[in-house]
Amino acid sequence: MSLSDMNIRVYCRNKNRLIISDKLDEYLLVDVQLNATLKLQCHFCNEINNMEQIIWYFQDRYQEEKERELEIGMSNNVSRNKIHLNPSFDLLIRDFNPTNAGIYKCHGAQNQNSENKFNYRLEPVFEQSEFVDLQNGNLSDWEHYRTINLIPVDNRFAVSSMPDISVIRNAGIILEVMSEWTAWSSCEHCIGKKGIKSSTAQCRLKSHFDNRTLSDNKALKIVDFFYKSPILPCRSQLLNEKFPIISNAIKDLPEFILKQTCDDCKIKRKMKNDEFKYKRRITMAVGNHVTLICPENEERSPVTWRKDNIILKAGYGQSFNEQDNKYHVLIDTFFTLYLTDVSNEDSGNYTCYMNGIKIMQVKIVVVSRSALLTQALLRHMGYLGFILFITLFCYCAGVIYACMNPTKYAKKDYEMIIMEENEEKQKLIMNDF
pLDDT greater than 60 at residue 403 = yes
Buried b (16+ CB within 10 A) or exposed e, 217-228: eebeebbebbee
Tell me the HSE value of 198 on the side-chain side, using a 13 A CA sphere: 14
Distance CA(145)–CA(132), nearest Å, equals 13
The string of pLDDT tens digits covering residues 205-256 is 999 888 776 667 888 888 899 999 999 999 999 999 999 999 999 999 999 9
CA distance 127 to 277: 43
Helix (H) or strand (E) holding 190: strand 188-191
pLDDT (tens digit, 9 = 90+) per residue, 98-148?
A: 999 999 998 776 666 666 678 999 999 998 887 777 889 999 999 999 999
Task: Determine the Cα–Cα distance for residues 231 and 207; give it in Å rounded to an integer.
Answer: 6
Measured between its terminal Cα atoms, the distance across the chain in Å is 106
Closest CA to 352 of 417, 263, 430, 291: 291
Whether the Cβ atoms of residue 365 and residue 280 lie closer than 8 Å to each other: no
In sign, the C-alpha dihedral spanning 409, 410, 414, 418 is negative
Choose the weakest-confidence range: 117-131, 313-327, 406-420: 406-420
CATH class of domain segment(s) 278-367: mainly beta
Q: Please, what's the largest Cα pairwise distance for the chain?
A: 146
Given a contact cutoff of 8 angstroms between Cβ atoms, the answer to whether 177 and 2 are in contact is no
Confidence band, pLDDT 50/70/90 cuts, at residue 50: low
State what percent of residues in the chain have pLDDT above 90: 28
Model confidence pTM above 0.75: no
Cβ atoms within 10 Å, residue 357: 12
In whole angstroms, give the CA distance from residue 352 to residue 338.
13
**Fold of the CATH domain 1-124:** Immunoglobulin-like (2.60.40)
Where are the domains positioned within the chain? Answer: 1-124, 126-269, 278-367, 371-426
| CB distance 26 to 17 below 8 Å | no
Q: Are 243 and 168 in contact, with CB atoms under 8 Å apart?
A: yes
State the Cα–Cα distance between residues 104 and 113, nearest whole angstrom. Answer: 14
- The residues near 118 (Cβ < 8 Å, ≥ 6 apart) are 13, 41, 42, 43, 105, 106, 107
pLDDT tens digit sequence for 252-268: 999 999 999 998 787 65
The amino acid occupying position 101 is A
CB-based burial label for 255 (10 Å; 0-12, 13-18, 19+)? buried
- Which residues, 6+ apart, have CB-to-CB distance to 168 below 8 Å? 157, 175, 222, 226, 243, 246
pLDDT at res. 1: 44
State the Cα–Cα distance between residues 301 and 102, nearest whole angstrom: 36
pLDDT value for 236: 95
* Contact predicate 164/245, CB 8 Å: yes
Q: Comparing 1-124 with 278-367, is the CATH topology the same?
A: yes
